[in-house]
């Protein structure tokens, strides 16, 4: 069964100590939900900083069937003289099953090019055992000129170049319009649906992916999650700011079950 994904991206927030306190609260709440049949179609994903991955894994292990771990980034080489970088084997060793690749903050603040993102996607599939959460999305200038489809199509085409013609089991695309990230201005649900449908059709006609999930990111909160999740091509959300409070994130999970 294709499960919806409700993912928390902590970005550069929370120490190991904070993570312990966070999951204490979250775990108490999740016990209330976990036996509901409507919850069976949901997977919760946490992307804490690298320094907390192993600690987070230790804590979420009892909930492993429905809570998964993701890194916020990876490097494409396996090992070597790459100071400050983290490999796929390192995140797997800390229990990750997902890796966020090409987040707009990586692209815009740290200068990650489309080609670097493509190398990372290629490495993820070559290494095996990790599913990429590939982030794409346009800025406001492009949206104002109605150029979002062309822009995202180009990002997808470059990032997924290495898997053209190959049979791929699973891929997650996070459509995250840059103008919606951290601004408090989420996409309107029908505009989100239009973009998700576009991405879905584009990938289905150009790639061989068995399980494709397209999640939305950008100012998701307790007040807009339900309206987004009703849309047929929105298979979940990636939540930044609102995931930092365990009670708020739990409510997002709860309200996502439509
Ligand atoms: C993100 O950074 O992936 C994100 C969606 O952030 P926010 O929810 O804060 O807009």
In the residue annotation, 196 being an active-site residue is answered as: no
Name the residue at shortest CA distance from atom 7 of ligand 1.
Answer: 240
Cβ–ligand 1 contact at 102 (below 6 Å):
no
Which CATH number is 80's domain given? 3.20.20.70
Residue environment code for 220-237, b if the CB has 16+ CB neighbours within 10 A, otherwise e? bbbebbebbbebebbbbb
Which residues, other chains included, contact 150 with Cβ-Cβ below 8 Å and sequence gap of 6+? none
Q: Which domain holds residue 246?
A: 4-256
The pLDDT score that the predictor gives to residue 203 is 98
Q: Tally Cβ neighbours within 10 Å of residue 156.
A: 19
148's CB contacts (< 8 A; 6+ apart) are: 138, 142, 177, 195
Residue 207, classed as helix, strand or coil, is coil
Number of domains in the chain: 1
Helix axes 16-33, 246-256, angle to 10 degrees: 30
Instruction: Please give the angle made by the CA atoms of 215, 97 and 89, to the nearest 5 degrees.
Output: 135
Catalytic annotation, pick one of 112, 176, 193, 231: 176
For a ligand 1 pocket test, name from 7, 192, 218 the mutation site with the most ligand atoms within 8 angstroms of its C-beta.
Answer: 218
Give the span between the Cα atoms of 178 and 155, in whole angstroms. Answer: 14
**CB 47 near ligand 1, within 6 Å:** no
Q: Is the CB of 182 under 6 A from ligand 1?
A: yes
Contact by Cβ (8 Å): 74, 33 = no
Active site residue 103: yes
Chain length of the chain: 258
- Please name the residue ranges forming H helices in the chain: 16-33, 53-60, 88-93, 104-109, 114-127, 140-144, 148-159, 189-206, 225-229, 246-256
Read off the pTM: 0.97
pLDDT of res. 258: 60
How far, in Å, CA of 95 to CA of 114, rounded? Answer: 27
What is the Å distance from ligand 1's center to 243 Cα?
A: 9
pLDDT recorded at residue 91: 98
| pLDDT < 50 stretches in the chain | none
Residue 8 in 3-state DSSP?
Answer: strand
Report the pLDDT value the prediction gives residue 32, as an integer from 0 to 100: 83
Structure tokens at 187: 């996409």
The protein residue with its alpha carbon nearest to ligand 1, atom 1, reads 240
> Closest residue (by CA) to atom 3 of ligand 1?
240
In angstroms, rounded to a whole number, what is the distance separating the alpha carbons of residues 7 and 124? 19
């Amino acid at each position: 069964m294709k499960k919806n994904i409700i993912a928390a991206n902590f970005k550069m927030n929370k120490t190991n100590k904070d993570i312990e306190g966070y999951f204490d609260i979250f775990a108490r709440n999740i016990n209330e939900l976990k036996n509901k049949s409507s919850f069976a179609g949901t997977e919760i994903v946490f992307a804490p900083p690298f320094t907390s991955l192993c600690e987070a894994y230790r804590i979420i292990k009892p909930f492993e069937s429905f809570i998964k771990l993701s890194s916020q980034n990876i490097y494409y080489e396996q090992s070597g003289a790459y100071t400050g970088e983290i490999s796929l084997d390192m995140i797997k060793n800390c229990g990750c099953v997902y890796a966020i690749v090409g987040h707009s903050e990586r692209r815009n603040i740290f200068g990650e090019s489309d080609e670097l993102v493509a190398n990372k996607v290629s490495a993820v599939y070559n290494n095996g055992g990790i599913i990429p959460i590939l982030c794409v999305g346009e800025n406001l200038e492009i949206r104002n000129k109605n150029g979002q489809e062309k822009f995202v199509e180009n990002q997808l085409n470059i990032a997924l170049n290495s898997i053209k013609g190959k049979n791929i089991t699973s891929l997650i695309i996070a459509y995250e319009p840059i103008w919606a990230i951290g601004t408090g201005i989420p996409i309107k649900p029908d505009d989100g649906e239009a973009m998700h449908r576009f991405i879905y059709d584009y990938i289905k006609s150009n790639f061989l992916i068995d399980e494709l999930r397209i999640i939305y990111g950008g100012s998701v909160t307790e007040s807009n999650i339900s309206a987004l999740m009703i849309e047929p091509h929105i298979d979940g959300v990636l939540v930044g700011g609102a995931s930092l409070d365990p009670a708020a994130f739990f409510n997002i999970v709860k309200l996502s079950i439509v």
